[in-house]
Chains A and B, each alone.
Chain A
Amino acid sequence: MEKRAAMDSDQVYDVLVAGGGNAALCAAITARTAGAKVLVLESSPKHFRGGNSRHTRNLRCMHDRPSPPLTGSYTAEEYWRDLSDVTDGHTNEVLARMVIAGTASCREWMIDHGVRFQPSLGGALHLSHTNAFFRGGGKSLINAYYRTAHRLGVDIEYDTEVRDIGIDEGRFEHAVVVHNGQERVIRAKAFVAASGGFQANLNWLREAWGDAANNFIIRGTPYDTGVVLRALMDRGVKTTGEPTQCHAVAIDGRSPRFDSGIVTRVDAIPLGIVVNTRAERFRDEGEDLWPKRYAIWGRLVAQQPDQTAFVVFDAQAIGLFIPPMMPPVEAASLAELGALLDLDPVAFTRTVSVYNDAVQPGTFDRTALDSCTTQGVVPPKSHWARRIDTPPYYAYPLRPGITFTYLAVVVDERARIVWEDDTPARNVFAAGEIMAGNILGQGYLAGLGMSIGTVFGRKAGEEAARSARDDR
């Protein structure tokens, strides 16, 4: 009965939200609280609801003084510097500063709507002054938001994909949705696009990356196929960012194609060396502290032959990084390890010995930019360089793990999407990964995705409810 009512074609909703992750629910809850009649369309089955938010664990927050669980302070200026640093200026400063300011107050709102926080996770203590961790991780957050949305009377439909949207003279009129294989038209006064990037759409990835995309692994939800993004593009929305830009990290090459989340991430890179399939090193593995560099390795591996690389380390590194789900490849000698990895054993042992010979004496400290460095090898290893000489030897095969794509619909500070002629839409809004590229043109900062989703989700919900109210 409930289902029929929610999907009733005669009904006109105030706000229709496409997507079921953090940004979508922040928008839905905010719009509902403002009095709007809201329908959320989540394309996944109930169990896999929440998009990539299911795999998240924290959000990056500014705060001027210690505010549990956050330690120390993280001012808006520091936040902005970190962001412009990783994006190399490819960011919209107005929107970025709006997100940063929004993170100062959003935790209270989150707590009011059921989210719980906890101190930094073990192995992520370096984030304790910048990132607030969700108790129980992103799925707990998502569960809390769905519970709240349900209690407030938001209508929610699972297994329901928005296939197309009807726009008339720049105004959203209806969405064409598919539920249980049946196509329906749902009308609403305002539309919020919070349906993620297109990273799970392998054809689209191939358009951008060519055949290299065949070797990409999608870390998150298989439901982010970019259908709404494409529909908006077809209707003349202005976009920003390159289709090849994305948040990508190096993950275990043996991971399943989709949805393996955090447990396949390989954080051993600063503790060893990385070689490609030609057994050559290609990048300084100890350039900077790992949290500042982990997000560049997805692209680096994507640029190697067969989009494959191997991180190689020895017994000294065991216990110094969070072990991924699958055990590493292990061998008693380097030659044996090379053979197991299908590398030319001569080239591989030579690469390791050239590196070993270049290692200078120093004092190892994993938590700081230490004095262990190399001399006379290209590329160098600037920190944490220790000889790889203590058996057993280990390796993880690496592949690019795509978290989400940055090609985005352009939005303004009211979360309205902007048409190609630079006019903002009256009743179409966007939040989350589908517009994150406005702020993240390249690079990544841990916890920023959830910050953008939360701040813009709430903004989109508020504006959508207002737009629907003005429409009455």
Chain B
Amino acid sequence: MARVCNACRYCEGLCPVFPAIERRLSFSESDLRYFANLCHDCGECLDACQYAPPHPFGVDVPRTLAAIRRASYQHYAWPHAFSGLFERSTLTLVLSAVLAPVLFAATLAVTAGAETFLAPHRDADGAFYQVMSHTAMVGLFGGLAVLSVMALLVGVFRGWQDLIDTAVPAPSPVTVRQALRDVLTLRYLGPHRDVDRGFRRVWHHCTFYGFLLCFAATSVAAVYHNLMGWMAPYPLLSVPVMLGVLGGVGLILGPIGLLWIKVRRPAERHDRAQFGMDVVFLVLLFETSVTGFLLLALRESAAMGPMLGIHLGAVAGLFVMLPFGKFVHGVYRCCAVLRSVIEGGLK
């Protein structure tokens, strides 16, 4: 495929993948992983390709790169024993999106006792912590976060070694700034009139910035609790709740939009295994957000206990899956975009 692209070059103006191919005369596996993580899978080059199937050359850049990209996630993943999770989307979906919330709620019910678990609570009493103590919550999620972040960091390190360390020259503040801008604006998730008219970028922004806002909400809440000594739940107009609500809306709209675009894509435009991985991550984000809102709405009712269990279970599922699911694409994409900027980017 890369040889056909390098001889043709018609797609050179579409995105930085093609200039990256043209800068090489031969292609190592590491090069292919770099192209793959640089590709945003917009599909425009497939429509532009004079050699796309059913042409006998059968060039399908997006699908070829999607398979390489998925394999690269497994290649970088640590501990490697878990890398199989990238492929087993049904299993991970059941474990993280269904079993984790159910088991979590069940565990809370047992530890807190049925009476506390099912009793209506008032915000003023620090409702959440009557069901699960703050120490337990921090201990559990802190632990999960440490493990996840550790696994992620090792993966990032391996990806960085593969994608960036070989780049010449090394990253500079200028190239890093440009790469960050390209990533944060999703410069290359371009509108492709035949496929999504630019909505994919909008939904991705909702999802990504929604995720960031929710993360910010949690961080502010941690400051409130630990430094100010203010206990959750916080009032509706407090900073953590407002950030969480905004981010949560993004995390509902974004994943729905992205899923909608995904299912409407014709089958021949999918890498099957990648599709499953994408769906798991989007469902987890959506579930986290929806259960968060339900918890907000029901927090002074008898359903608060079970809702808290389900929400925290969903969050736990999301956390555990971070290093072994679609979440990692962002990290490696950043590396690949940075390398492309270093090499000269889109001509």
Chain A residues within CB distance 8 Å of chain B: 47-48, 54-55, 57, 118-119, 121-123, 133-140, 143, 147, 256, 259-265, 318-319, 322-327
Report whether A118 and B13 are in contact in the complex, using a CB–CB cutoff of 8 Å: yes
State the total of A-B contacts with C-beta under 8 angstroms: 86
In the assembled complex, which residues on chain A have CB atoms less than 8 Å from the CB atom of B22?
122
Question: Is B224 positioned at the interface, with any CB of A under 8 Å from its CB?
Answer: no
Apart from A147-B193, A323-B3, A325-B3, list 15 A-B contacts with CB within 8 A: A47-B54, A54-B50, A57-B10, A119-B347, A134-B10, A136-B10, A137-B50, A139-B50, A140-B47, A263-B7, A265-B7, A318-B25, A319-B25, A323-B25, A324-B7
Contact status of A263 and B51, CB under 8 A, knowing A121-B10, A322-B7: yes
| Chain B 124-159 interface residues, beta-carbon cutoff 8 Å to A | none
Given that A122-B19, A143-B47, A318-B25 are contacting pairs, would A137 and B10 also be in contact in the complex, using a CB cutoff of 8 Å? yes
Inter-chain contacts of A319 with B (CB < 8 A): 25
Instruction: Report whether A135 and B13 are in contact in the complex, using a CB–CB cutoff of 8 Å.
Output: yes
Verify A136–B193 contact, CB threshold 8 A. no
- Asked if residues B4 and A136 are in contact (CB atoms below 8 Å), the reply is no
Q: Are B194 and A143 in contact (CB under 8 A)?
A: yes
B residues at A contact (CB < 8 Å): 3-4, 6-14, 19, 22, 25, 44-45, 47-52, 54-57, 193-194, 347
What residues of chain B lie closer than 8 Å to A133, measured between beta carbons? 13
Q: What chain B residues lie within 8 Å of A118 (beta carbons)? A: 12-13
> Nearest residue in B to A262 (C-beta to C-beta)?
B8
Q: List the 10 closest pairs (A to B, CB-CB), nearest first.
A: A137-B10, A118-B13, A136-B48, A263-B7, A140-B48, A325-B7, A135-B13, A121-B9, A263-B8, A54-B50
Whether A55 pairs with B50 at a CB distance below 8 angstroms is yes
Q: Could you say which residues of chain B place their CB within 8 Å of the CB of A264?
A: 7
CA distance A322 to B7 in the complex (A): 6
Q: Please report the C-alpha to C-alpha distance between residue A318 and residue B26 in the assembled complex, in whole angstroms.
A: 12
List chain B residues, Cβ under 8 A from A135.
13-14
Q: Given the complex, which residues of A lie within 8 Å of B44, measured CB to CB? A: 136
> Given contacts A147-B193, A259-B55, are A136 and B50 in contact (CB under 8 A)?
no
A148 vs chain B, min Cβ distance (A)? 11
Distance in Å: Cβ of A253 to nearest Cβ of chain B: 15
A140 to B14, CA, bound (A): 11
Residue of A nearest to B194 (CB): A143
| Residue numbers in A under 8 Å from B3 (CB-CB) | 323, 325-327
User: CA of A326 to CA of B49 in the docked complex: distance in angstroms?
Assistant: 18
Contact B4–A119 (Cβ < 8 Å): no
Closest chain A residue, CB of each to CB of B53? A47
23 contacts between A and B (CB under 8 A): A47-B52, A48-B55, A54-B50, A121-B13, A136-B13, A136-B44, A136-B45, A136-B47, A138-B50, A139-B48, A140-B48, A147-B193, A147-B194, A259-B56, A262-B8, A263-B8, A264-B7, A318-B25, A322-B9, A323-B6, A325-B3, A325-B4, A327-B3
By a CB distance below 8 angstroms, the chain B residues around A256 are: 56
Alpha-carbon distance A140/B46, docked complex (angstroms)? 10
Give min CB distance, B329 to chain A, whole Å.
25
User: Is there an interface contact between A261 and B12, defined as CB atoms closer than 8 Å?
Assistant: no
Bound-complex Cα distance A76 to B8 (A): 30
Chain B residues near A47: list those with CB within 8 A. Answer: 52, 54-55
Tell me whether A119 and B13 are in contact (CB under 8 A).
yes
Distance A265 CA – B7 CA, assembled complex (angstroms) = 8
- Which residues of A lie under 8 Å from residue B49 when comparing CB positions? 139
With both beta carbons as reference points, the residue of chain A lying nearest to B13 in the complex is identified as A118
Cβ distance A405 to chain B, nearest Cβ, rounded Å? 20
**CB atoms of A323 and B7 under 8 A apart:** yes
State whether A137 touches B51 (Cβ < 8 A). no
Flag if B347 contacts A137 (CB, 8 Å): no
A contact residues around B48 at 8 Å (CB): 136-137, 139-140, 143
B14 to A123, Cβ gap below 8 A? no
* Complex: A135 Cα to B56 Cα, angstroms: 24
CA of A248 to CA of B45, assembled, Å: 27
Cβ of A5 to closest chain B Cβ, rounded Å: 25
A263 proximity list for chain B (CB < 8 A): 4, 7-8, 51, 57
Chain B residue numbers with a CB within 8 Å of A265 are 7
Q: CB distance B347 to A122 under 8 Å?
A: yes
The answer to whether B25 touches A262 (Cβ under 8 A) is: no
Task: Among A147, A263, A264, find the residue whose CB has the most chain B CB atoms closer than 10 A.
Answer: A263
List, in ascending order, chain B residues with CB within 8 A of A323's CB: 3, 6-7, 25
Residue contact A137 to B56, C-beta cutoff 8 Å: no
Interface centre among A122, A137, A147 (most CB of B within 10 A): A137
Q: Using CB atoms, name the residue of chain A closest to B5.
A: A263
Query: Once bound together, how far apart are the Cα atoms of A57 and B11, in whole Å?
Result: 10
A123 CB, nearest partner CB in chain B, Å: 7
Chain B residues near A134 (CB, 8 Å)? 10
Whole-angstrom distance between the Cβ of B278 and the nearest chain A Cβ: 25
Closest chain A residue, CB of each to CB of B56: A256
Partner of A137, one of B11, B19, B57, B194: B11
Contact B9 A261 (CB under 8 A): no
